[in-house]
Amino acid sequence: MKAAQPRLRALACSGLAVLLLLALLSGQWWLGDLPGRMQFDARLAPPGLDHWLGTDALGRELWARTLAGLALSFRVGLLAALLGSAIALGLALLTTLSPRLDALVRLLIDTLLSVPHLILLLLIAFALGGGLQAVVIAVATTHWPGLARVLRAELLQLRAAPYIGISRALGKSQGFILLHHFLPHALPHCLVGALLLFPHAILHEAALTFLGVGLSPSQPAIGILLADAMRYLSGGYWWLGVFPGLGLLLMVLGIERIASGLRRAL
């Protein structure tokens, strides 16, 4: 029973994650235009019964904007994590093919890791002109090296395993060994890596948007809400910053917990 517990916990966490995902994805449908609807008689209203989390300077409901922002962040995180881990997995598998390719990939990893990634992130997002696509590409292309390094080390160790050499001696092709020996070994690591990449991606999306090279100001992204809150913070309108920030923190922590649960289970 004890051995099954981490798996059980991971299963519960994954179930919770699916629920969260559904809630966030369906949010766009049941929130409607509420995140953008302005109420000029209730500008900067504090949290209360009428306005649960308060309103912003244009009288928009903060709870609706926070939820919509989280859904947007979730989408960015998901896409960036998928893209980033796909790059990492692909390059890690390439390293098993020849020592020369391995050296090339290692060089690429070291180069990218030696540049502060926030600067690279800003540069790429800026060069691509901002927007959802630019943020996803920027986060994915700067965040694969860490995961690729882990996957490469795993596969390097596997490459020395006798059964790989035996498979080759039994006449199996490179492609067969890649697909049937290396890939199934790397996939669980890759899944956990992708989940760990996820909160990073969300935080960086928020950071990019906050700094003005991310999503457009018309979208209720968490970064936009936080940047907006900065302008009113000195006026004592604390709810503008606290609730979106808290929402982001909860989501990031939740996903982090799921990832660490899954890592223990696998």
Residues lying near another protein in the complex (CB under 8 A) = 161-163, 165-172, 180-181, 184-185
Distance between start and end Cα atoms, the chain: 16
Give the shortest CB-222-to-another protein separation in angstroms. 40
Kindly state the DSSP code that residue 45 receives in the 8-state scheme.
Answer: P
Give the shortest CB-253-to-another protein separation in angstroms. 32
Burial of 82 (0-12, 13-18, 19+ CB in 10 A): middle
Give the shortest CB-139-to-another protein separation in angstroms. 32
Burial of 101 (0-12, 13-18, 19+ CB in 10 A): middle
Q: Which is nearer to another protein, 38 or 187 (CB)?
A: 187
- CA torsion 180→183→186→192, rounded to 10°? -120
Q: Which is nearer to another protein, 185 or 263 (CB)?
A: 185
Give the shortest CB-198-to-another protein separation in angstroms. 26
Q: Which is nearer to another protein, 4 or 18 (CB)?
A: 4
Q: Which is nearer to another protein, 158 or 211 (CB)?
A: 158
Amino acid identity, position 38:
M
Give the shortest CB-155-to-another protein separation in angstroms. 14
Distance CA 165, CA 168 (A): 5
Q: Which is nearer to another protein, 7 or 257 (CB)?
A: 7
